Every structure is written in C-alpha cells, then in structure tokens.
Amino acid sequence: MPKLNIIDTHAHLEGEEFAGDFEAMLARAVEAGVSRIITAGTNVESSEKAVALAQKYPQIFAAVGIHPQEIHNAQKADIQKIAELVKNPKVVALGEMGLDFHRSAVYRDEQIKGLKRQLEMASELRLPVIIHNRQSTKEMIEILSEWVNKTQTKTPGVIHCFQENADNAGVFLEMGFYLAFGGYIGYPKSLMAEVIKIVPKTRLLTETDAPYLPPQKFRGQRNEPAYIVYTVERMAEVLGKTKEEVANFTTENACRLFKFQ
C-alpha cells in the first residue's frame, strides 16, 4: 500500500523534549507518512531555533512569532528580530500568535497589543498567520474580523488546535481561515466530530502540537509528529472517508496555504 502523505502543520520541535531522540523521532515521522512538519516558535529564541532546524532538515519548515503566554516578556526589539527571521525562505508563516485568557488572563492588554502588531506585520510580509486562541474567542473574532476587513486578505491563515463550537467555526471560516485539528479530536469527551463535519474539505488541516496534546493512546506521554496518523484516522472515521483521502485533501490544503511546491 502506498504511504500516506501527511503534513504536520503545527509542532514545537525545538524544545528539549526532543533533544534525546531527534533523528529517531524524525525517522518515525517519515515512516508514518509525514512529508513536512512546520515547527512554530513561541518567542525570539525558539523562533531562531525553529529556523535553524528548518535550514538543517529539508522536511522541516518554520513559523516565527511570539506566543500570547510569552508576550509580556517580549522586548520592543523582539518584533524586529522576528521580522528579520522571515527573510529565511523556509519561514512559511508568522506564529504562533494569539490570545490565551485561560492561563495568563492578567496580561490581556499586552496580548491584544502583541497580536495586533504581529497581524500588521503578517500583512506587510504577506505571510499567513498561525493563531492560538484559548478562552478568548469574543476578542479574537473582533480583532481578526477587523484585520481581515482592513487588509482584504483572502487567505489569512489558520486557527490552530481548533476547539470551538460549530457557530464560531462558521465565523472563522467566513473570514477565510483554515481550521487545524490535532490528536485531541479522538478524546472520549471531544465534541469536535460535529464541528469537523461542517468544515469544508478545502479548509481542514492536521497538526500535532507536539510535544503537547498527544492522542488518546499516548495520553500522559510526549506527543510527536508520527502520531498525526491517529488524527487522520479519526477525521476519516468522522467524515466517512479513507485515511488516504483525508491525508490527500489536508495535504493539498496545507500546500495551498503555506505555498509548498
């Protein structure tokens, strides 16, 4: 049987979680059919590491940005440093950026300012954005719709780790966003099956968010890109498609959004 061709559109490979078995982890991903991985920075340091990994490995690409939980530590010059990193041709997106009122509600204003600044930068640089949104949907919708209206961008980016209801999915889709789903869609309590069914096939993406959010089978352990097959499997089950079909259309979508050849 031909191998699947899957893209992990969101992982964090630059951390020490993978320092011990990086090459073996990549080999397992290749074996599982993962053709490309986007590793996303969360501050200047991890964005620099993401770019370095992308330069070293042909199948790794980088996203650079400042995560909402890091934004209060960011210096003014950091945004400029992120803009510099974008010059590397293997940087395919800005992110992850966004709002997270779950874990760091105290820095709301800083988060909103940091998100708006990075969105502006994305339109200047003409790159798609990778958005993190946790318990901040109302503000997120306000900020993103204003930005999309102002810039008239047709393919603004992706809402990663999508865990919102179907109504909110509709709002983000209407703005032109892709929605990415990870291993959590197979958790017994996940409500994502109903949401996945309403997303057009041309807007679905797969991701792991490794080393976080492992699939059910590996809960409590480190997640890694090879485990994306469980997400493809679950999506196929929900949509009544084969794994190959899901791998094919999600890969086509990722290639279109991130301009992979």
> Which residues of this chain interact with Zn ion, rule CB under 5 A?
132, 209
Residue least distant from Zn ion (Cβ): 132
In angstroms, give the least distance from the CB of 200 to Zn ion. 23
d(CA 50, CA 43): 10
Toward Zn ion, which CB reaches closer, 143 or 240? 143
Cβ proximity to Zn ion: between 164 and 209 the closer is 209
Least spacing, CB of residue 1 vs Zn ion, in Å: 31
Query: Could you tell me if 168 and 198 are in contact, meaning their C-beta atoms sit under 8 angstroms apart?
Result: no
Question: What is the token pair recorded at 241?
Answer: 């498609």
**Structure token pair of residue 151:** 């810039």
β-sheet bridge partners, residue 7: 36
Q: How far apart are CA 232 and CA 201, in angstroms?
A: 13
CB of 116 to Zn ion, least distance (A): 18
Strand 178-181 to 129-134 pairing: unpaired
Q: What whole-number distance in Å separates Cα of residue 2 and Cα of residue 6?
A: 12
Please state the closest distance from residue 19 (CB atom) to Zn ion, in A: 18
Q: Which is nearer to Zn ion, 39 or 248 (CB)?
A: 39
Q: Which is nearer to Zn ion, 132 or 203 (CB)?
A: 132
DSSP state of 105: G
Nearer to Zn ion, 61 or 77 (CB): 61
Q: How buried is residue 28: exposed, middle or buried, by Cβ count under 10 Å (0-12/13-18/19+)?
A: middle
User: Could you tell me the smallest distance in angstroms from the CB atom of residue 239 to Zn ion?
Assistant: 24
